[in-house]
Amino acid sequence: MKCCGSDYSTPFCPLCGKQLQVDPLRELLHYARSQVRARETDLKKKEAGIKRCPDRHWPEQAEKKRENLLKWTAWCDALAAKVD
């Protein structure tokens, strides 16, 4: 792609840093992986809360978060298989 007066085959222009090649599936995979990391963090926080105060509704919430994490992980794995 052309940028800063020259053709480049790299994803970013080495002179200005502008993104030249956009792969929407890779961007979606990057987003899905960030969501997996966020859900892992949320689940760890819930599990820590269960240890501190087991009588609250946190076990049910942790199970929902675990299911959500599994869903995002499956999507991420399926997308990675297509992209890579």
The pTM assigned to this predicted structure is 0.70
Residue 56 lies in a domain: yes
Residue 62 lies in a domain: yes
Distance CA 40, CA 70 (A): 10
Residue 35 lies in a domain: yes
| pLDDT per residue rounded down to tens, the chain (84 residues) | 788 988 887 778 888 988 887 788 888 998 999 999 999 999 998 888 888 877 777 788 889 999 999 999 999 999 999 987
Domain that holds residue 53: 23-83
- Total of domains in the chain: 1
Find the DSSP H helices in 1-84: 24-52, 58-83
Residue 37 lies in a domain: yes
Residue 10 lies in a domain: no
Distance CA 59, CA 69 (A): 15
